[in-house]
Amino acid sequence: MEERTHTLQNPVLQANRRPYKYLSFRNVVTNTNMEGDSTYESNIMEDENKSEFRSFLKILPPVEFACVYGSSLHPNNQAKSTMTDYILGVSDPYRWHSENLKLNRNHYASWMVHLGGARLVTEVADKIGVGVHFNPFVSWNRKMFKYGVVRIDDLLQDVLCWERFYLSGRLQKPIHIVIDNLDIANVNSVNLRAAISAALLFLPSEFTEEDLYSKVCSLSYVGDLRMLFAEDKNKVKKIVTGQFDLFHSMYKPFLQEYEAKKLLRLSSSANRRVQVFQDCDLSAASSLVSSLPPAIRNQMGMMLGEKTKVIETGKITRDVVLSSREEAAKCLQGILRRKVMISSARQAVSGLLTSGGVNASRYLAKKMSKAWKSWR
Q: How confident is the model at residue 351 (pLDDT cuts 50, 70, 90)?
A: confident
State the pLDDT confidence band at 229, using cuts at 50, 70 and 90: low
Question: What mean pLDDT is reported for the chain?
Answer: 82
Given a contact cutoff of 8 angstroms between Cβ atoms, the answer to whether 162 and 293 are in contact is: yes
For residue 5, the model assigns a pLDDT of: 43
Residue-level pLDDT at 364: 52
Is this structure's pTM higher than 0.85? no
Per-residue confidence (pLDDT) for residue 13, from 0 to 100:
44
- Would you place residue 307 in the very low, low, confident or very high pLDDT band (cuts 50, 70, 90)? confident
Residue 209 C-beta-side C-alpha neighbours within 13 Å: 24
Query: What pairing do the DSSP bridges indicate for beta strands 84-90 and 143-151?
Result: parallel
Average pLDDT over residues 153-178: 96
Give the per-residue pLDDT at 192. 98
Q: 2-15: per-residue pLDDT in tens?
A: 444 444 444 444 44
Around Cβ 59, how many Cβ atoms within 10 Å?
Answer: 14
* Rounded mean pLDDT, 114-133: 95
Q: Which residues contact 312 (CB under 8 A, 6 or more apart)?
A: none
Q: How confident is the model at residue 204 (pLDDT cuts 50, 70, 90)?
A: very high
The 10s digit of each residue's pLDDT in 20-45 is: 333 433 333 322 233 334 344 444 44
Q: Measure CA 141 to chain center.
A: 27
Q: Which residues contact 114 (CB under 8 A, 6 or more apart)?
A: none
Residues 166-194, mean pLDDT to the nearest whole number? 96
Q: H or E element: which one contains 277?
A: strand 274-278
Sheet order of strands, 264-268 included: 206-208, 274-278, 264-268
Give per-residue pLDDT as tens, 323-348: 999 999 999 999 999 999 999 999 98
Per mean pLDDT, which range of 5-9, 102-106, 236-240, 283-287 is the poorest?
5-9
First-residue to last-residue Cα distance in the chain: 49
For position 185, what pLDDT does the model report? Answer: 94
With bands split at pLDDT 50, 70 and 90, how would you rate the model's confidence at 52? confident
Q: How far is CA 38 from CA 8, 27, 45, in A?
A: 39, 13, 10
Q: pLDDT tens, 73-112? A: 876 655 555 789 999 999 999 999 999 999 999 999 999 9
